[in-house]
Amino acid sequence: MTEEVVDNEIKESENENENIVVSYKDVKKAFGDTVVLNDLSLNVAQGEKVALIGPSGSGKTTIIRMLMTLEQPTEGTIEVDGEMLWHKEVNGELLPADEKHMRKVRGKIGMVFQQYNLFPHMTIMRNCTTAPVNVLGISKDEAKTRAQEMLDKVGLGDKVDNYPSQLSGGQQQRVAIARSLVMQPKVMLFDEVTAALDPELVGEVLEVLKDIAAEGDTTMMLITHEMEFARDVADRVLFLDNGKIAEHGPPSEVIENPQTERLQAFLGRFNNS
Amino acid sequence: MSWDWEFAFEVFPDIVGAIGVTIGATVVAYLISLVLGLVFTLLRRSSFKPLSLLMAGVIEFIRTTPPLVQLFFVYYAFPMSPFTTGAVVLGVHYATYVSEVYRSGIEAVPTSQWEASKALNFSKAQTWQKVILPQAIPPVIPMLGNYLIVLFKETPLLAGIFVTEMLQVARIIGADTYRFLEPIAIVGFLFLVLSYPSALFIRYLEKRSGKLHGSAEKGVKT
Amino acid sequence: MFTNIGEFLPFILGGLTTTVQAFLFGAVLAYSIAIVAGLMRTSKLAVVRIVATIFVELFRGTSLLVQMFFFAFVFPALTPFTPSLFLAGGLALGFNYGAYASEVVRGAVLSVPEGQKEAAISLNMSKVQRMRFVILPQAIRIMLPGIGNNSIELLKGTSLVYFISLADMTYRADILRGANTALSSQIEIYTYLLFTYFVLALPLIFLTRWLEKRASKGVSTA
Ligand SMILES: Nc1ncnc2c1ncn2[C@@H]1O[C@H](COP(=O)(O)OP(=O)(O)OP(=O)(O)O)[C@@H](O)[C@H]1O
Ligand SMILES: [Mg+2]
């Protein structure tokens, strides 16, 4: 290991004094016999923007899907705001959490998907208000006000009565971001949100993400293949390789000055294109 | 009344004895539906509008009226044996479903295949025979197989025109002995034992070949 | 020929109420069963899935007419409960077509992309909310054409109550035929009967067509 990496670890331990929102502790994930993540430990601080990069199949998606409760960790625990997501402690024993507990913790997390996953049978407005009204229990009027605000923010305030199919991919993805924002999650997860878009539509979505990042208070974990974007937005970059965090640190180190051969090779592919 | 094993064993051979009639009617009806179904499909696609419209109407009429009534109609209108009547009527009725299956198969063949045939200067008949049907039919074989099972389960209707298939035998036994429990249960059992494994086999074929999408679900009875 | 319409048709239509009642009873029962059994078959719990699967396979595998005889003649002998003939016929229709339609429901629910469920989870919806707001509204649009076709099948199936002596249209036609044995009269009677069924099916046919068109346009253009 190089000095650089050791340095990063010191930095991370400094982070622990800050307000930790998300904490993976010795998390292992296997699908059947295939182990895709091993001994993953990771803390994310309040307001921090973390970019996850790495080759296909390295386990990036799995990391954030476990936080969204879409995938169950095989071993280890994940904490959100100091509360365990998948487990409940009863008399010093860890038991699987019930649906009620998971919903309580999950409420702090929001996610935007590669394929947008808007609800095709609902208007844009209803896409953005159904969950706030029924999950958060706020009034319809308030939900509409909030939704309008977020849709304005992503530049789609005039599309409230449209259906998703009437929007371009970039517009749909911006709606998906707004829909997630309306729920006011503490932590937002983004899984290659521009990967399904035509190249000319990528920019508009990245702009929206930069705006959200600039506001500062939302914790963000972003999987991306847009290195320039990662450098601009992220406080910390994690390079995943074979189910492990192989390098991590501020973008100025990880992206500008990669240490391992693997990361150099990985980044090399982006510089050429 | 409770289950009487002795009685069950006594009537079992009589009912099983009728299985030949049931299966015979199924197979004949199925062959009719396979051939006539294709004829229906081709006529339905005729470029001569009045013919294709007429065909559409006839198919719709046959498909949406009860096969039992069609059985009565043919039975009382034509001097055919009950067995022949049964096989023909069921065959014609299910030809309308089978034709829907062929249609979905044909529509799944890319238009480029038609264009290529034209470029090769094939005649229309040659195009159908050599290019379209060989591609259209294999993918729908599982769906066609489904209708063999469906037809099999429809054969009890033939009791209505006194074909001595399994259910009719059970009815006769029931009327003679006032015991319906065992005969009806045996018939149900035989249907299940024959149709369920066949259905599993068809589903296996379907999975293996990958489902073909389209409106071939018209049958619903799959 | 076809000169006795004034006499024959009203007599046949004397069974219209029974036919329609059997249809409605069967439809309400069938679609209630279809939703419950269809959703059960998508359950995560193996027990729930297995119970539903056994029910569905049993009723799909044993033939409607056999089931009708079972409810009419075997059920009363087995249990202290004696269903009326109408109830027996209705139960058989409801259970049989419910088993078929549950497959339509299951298929529709499964055809809603997984991403929809995941998006709903990411918005922290509960299981019930996910079903109610996200999965079912989309699944229903997908299943409606299948349900429409199933209803046409059910209407045809009502003619089987003839076998258990319920005075539906088919049964009345049979009485009429017994009293008018001339070949021309018999053809006439069953022609009227067939057309009456077709006319009854027409609204269902058009409804199903319309639903098919809507479904093929995709779920997003509401
Ligand atoms: N449901 C699953 N069942 C089995 N294996 C899975 C499943 N989901 C993911 N995997 C495997 O886990 C590994 C990590 O997958 P993951 O989706 O997390 O990778 P990724 O880093 O997001 O890759 P990509 O850049 O292609 O999205 C891969 O080898 C993948 O094949
Ligand atoms: Mg991924």
DSSP state of B210: -
Cβ of C124 within 8 Å of Cβ of A107? The answer is: yes
Q: Whose CA is nearest to atom 4 of ligand 1?
A: A31
Find the CB nearest C69 among B61, B65, B180.
B180
**Chains meeting B at 3+ CB pairs closer than 8 A?**
C
In C, minimum Cα distance to B71 occurs at C190
Q: Do chains B and C touch (3 or more CB pairs under 8 A)?
A: yes
Ligand nearest to the CA of A60: 1
Going by their DSSP bridges, the two strands A87-90 and A219-223 should be labelled as unpaired
Give a yes or no: residue C200 inside a domain. no
CA of A163 to the centre of ligand 2 (A): 27
List of chain A residues whose C-beta atoms are within 8 Å of the C-beta of residue C141: 121
- Integer Cα distance of A188 and A193 in angstroms: 12
- Integer Cα distance of A270 and A50 in angstroms: 19
Among A64-78, A105-119, B191-205, the least confident range: B191-205
Provide the 3-class DSSP secondary structure of residue A244: strand
List of chain A residues whose C-beta atoms are within 8 Å of the C-beta of residue C134: 119
Q: Which domain holds residue B194?
A: 5-221
Q: Cα separations (Å) of B92 from B63, B137, B161?
A: 9, 20, 17
Q: Which residues pair with A96 in a beta bridge?
A: A87
Q: Amino acid letter at C149?
A: N
B171 has pLDDT over 70: yes
Cβ of C160 within 8 Å of Cβ of B218? The answer is: no
Could you tell me what percentage of chain C is helix, strand and coil, using 3-state DSSP and rounding each to the nearest 5?
Answer: 85, 0, 15
Mutate to test the interface with C, among A65, A121, A134, A168 (most CBs of C within 10 A): A121
Q: How many Å lie between the alpha carbon of B123 and the closest alpha carbon of chain C?
A: 33
Find the CB nearest B196 among C57, C67, C194.
C57
List of chain C residues whose C-beta atoms are within 8 Å of the C-beta of residue A68: 118, 121-122
CB C148 within 8 A of CB C207: yes
- Integer Cα distance of C45 and C43 in angstroms: 5
Q: Which of A156, C77, A266 is nearest to B179 (CA)?
A: C77
Q: Which of A142, A141, A171 is nearest to A154 (CA)?
A: A171
B215 has pLDDT over 50: no
Interface of C with B in 186-205 (CB under 8 A): 186-187, 190-191, 193-194, 197-198, 201, 204-205
pLDDT digits (tens, 9 = 90+) for A198-235: 888 898 999 999 999 998 789 999 999 989 999 999 99
CA of B38 to the centre of ligand 1 (A): 46
In C, minimum Cα distance to B199 occurs at C61
For the CA of A60, the closest atom of ligand 1 is 21
Residue with the bigger pLDDT between A201 and A117: it is: A117
**Residues in the 5 Å CB sphere of ion ligand 2:** A 61
What's the maximum distance between 2 C-alpha atoms anywhere in chain C?
A: 72
Give a yes or no: residue C157 inside a domain. yes
Per-residue pLDDT, averaged over A231-250, amounts to 92
Q: How many domains does chain B have?
A: 1
CA of B135 to the centre of ligand 2 (A): 37
DSSP state of A225: S
Q: Which of C125, C108, C120 is nearest to C34 (CA)?
A: C108
CB C163 within 8 A of CB C110: no
pLDDT digits (tens, 9 = 90+) for B18-46: 999 999 999 999 999 999 999 999 999 99
Per-residue pLDDT, averaged over C39-46, amounts to 92
Q: What angle do CA A205, A210, A215 make, to 5 degrees?
A: 130
Residues 6+ apart with CB under 8 A from B129: none
At A175, which helix (H) or strand (E)? helix A169-182
Q: Which of A60, A70, A74, A97 is nearest to A27 (CA)?
A: A74
Q: Whose CA is nearest to atom 27 of ligand 1?
A: A56
Per-residue pLDDT, averaged over B113-128, amounts to 91
At C171, which helix (H) or strand (E)? helix C169-179
A54 has pLDDT over 50: yes
Report the CATH number at residue C129: 1.10.3720.10
Cβ of B184 within 8 Å of Cβ of C152? The answer is: no
Give a yes or no: residue C149 inside a domain. yes
Only one residue has tokens 């895709």, namely A36
Per-residue pLDDT, averaged over C143-155, amounts to 94
Q: Which residues pair with A88 in a beta bridge?
A: A95
Residue B213 has a pLDDT of: 44
Q: Which of A267, A271, A272 is nearest to A51 (CA)?
A: A267
A93: how many CB neighbours lie within 10 A of its CB?
A: 8
CA of A25 to the centre of ligand 1 (A): 20
pLDDT digits (tens, 9 = 90+) for B43-92: 999 999 999 999 999 999 999 999 999 999 999 999 999 999 999 999 99
Pocket of ligand 1 (CB under 6 A): A 31, 36, 54, 56-62
pLDDT digits (tens, 9 = 90+) for C62-100: 999 999 999 998 888 888 888 899 999 999 999 999 999
- Integer Cα distance of C96 and C100 in angstroms: 7
Cβ of A120 within 8 Å of Cβ of C124? The answer is: no
- Integer Cα distance of B203 and A110 in angstroms: 40
CA C101 to chain centroid, in Å, comes to 7
CB C212 within 8 A of CB C145: yes
pLDDT band of residue B1 (cuts 50, 70, 90) is low
Q: Which of B18, B154, B31 is nearest to B88 (CA)?
A: B31
CB A81 within 8 A of CB A186: yes
Q: What angle do CA A109, A111, A112 make, to 5 degrees?
A: 160
Report the CATH number at residue B76: 1.10.3720.10
List of chain C residues whose C-beta atoms are within 8 Å of the C-beta of residue B180: 69, 73-74, 77
For the CA of A223, the closest atom of ligand 1 is 22
Q: How many Å lie between the alpha carbon of B6 and the closest alpha carbon of chain C?
A: 17
List of chain C residues whose C-beta atoms are within 8 Å of the C-beta of residue B215: 212
pLDDT band of residue A3 (cuts 50, 70, 90) is very low
Q: What angle do CA C190, C194, C199 make, to 5 degrees?
A: 145
C10 has pLDDT over 80: yes
Q: Whose CA is nearest to atom 7 of ligand 1?
A: A31
CB C122 within 8 A of CB A109: yes
Q: Cα separations (Å) of C207 from A138, C20, C36?
A: 39, 17, 24
DSSP state of A8: H
- Integer Cα distance of B10 and B22 in angstroms: 20
CB C63 within 8 A of CB B153: yes
CA-CA-CA-CA dihedral for A20, A185, A75, A50, to nearest 10: -60
DSSP state of A98: P
Cβ of A106 within 8 Å of Cβ of C141? The answer is: no
ipTM for this prediction: 0.92
In A, minimum Cα distance to C116 occurs at A117
At A29, which helix (H) or strand (E)? strand A20-31
Residues 6+ apart with CB under 8 A from B204: none
A7 has pLDDT over 70: no
pLDDT digits (tens, 9 = 90+) for A127-159: 999 999 999 999 999 999 999 999 999 999 999
- Angle, helices B19-44/B133-154, rounded to nearest 10 degrees: 140
Q: Amino acid letter at A64?
A: I
A147: how many CB neighbours lie within 10 A of its CB?
A: 26
Cβ of B220 within 8 Å of Cβ of C146? The answer is: yes
The pTM assigned to this predicted structure is: 0.84
Q: Which of B210, B222, B191, B220 is nearest to B18 (CA)?
A: B191
Residue A126 has a pLDDT of: 96
CA of A61 to the centre of ligand 1 (A): 7
Q: Which of B63, B70, B133 is nearest to B98 (CA)?
A: B63
List of chain C residues whose C-beta atoms are within 8 Å of the C-beta of residue B218: 149
In chain A, the percentage of residues whose pLDDT exceeds 90 is: 69
Residue A164 has a pLDDT of: 95
Q: Which domain holds residue C30?
A: 17-170
Task: Tell me phi and psi for residue A222, to 5 degrees.
Answer: -120, 130
CB neighbour burial string for A124-137, b if at least 16 within 10 angstroms, e if fewer: bbbbbbbbbbbbbe
DSSP state of B168: H
Cβ of C222 within 8 Å of Cβ of A121? The answer is: yes
CB A255 within 8 A of CB A237: yes
Per-residue pLDDT, averaged over A168-178, amounts to 94
Find the CB nearest B220 among C57, C100, C183.
C100
pLDDT band of residue B217 (cuts 50, 70, 90) is very low
List of chain B residues whose C-beta atoms are within 8 Å of the C-beta of residue C63: 153-154, 156, 167, 187-188, 191
B72: how many CB neighbours lie within 10 A of its CB?
A: 26
Q: How many domains does chain C have?
A: 1
CA of A54 to the centre of ligand 2 (A): 10
- Integer Cα distance of C160 and C94 in angstroms: 13
- Integer Cα distance of B212 and B208 in angstroms: 11
Cβ of A120 within 8 Å of Cβ of C218? The answer is: yes
CA of A28 to the centre of ligand 1 (A): 14
Cβ of A165 within 8 Å of Cβ of C119? The answer is: no
Q: Amino acid letter at C56?
A: V
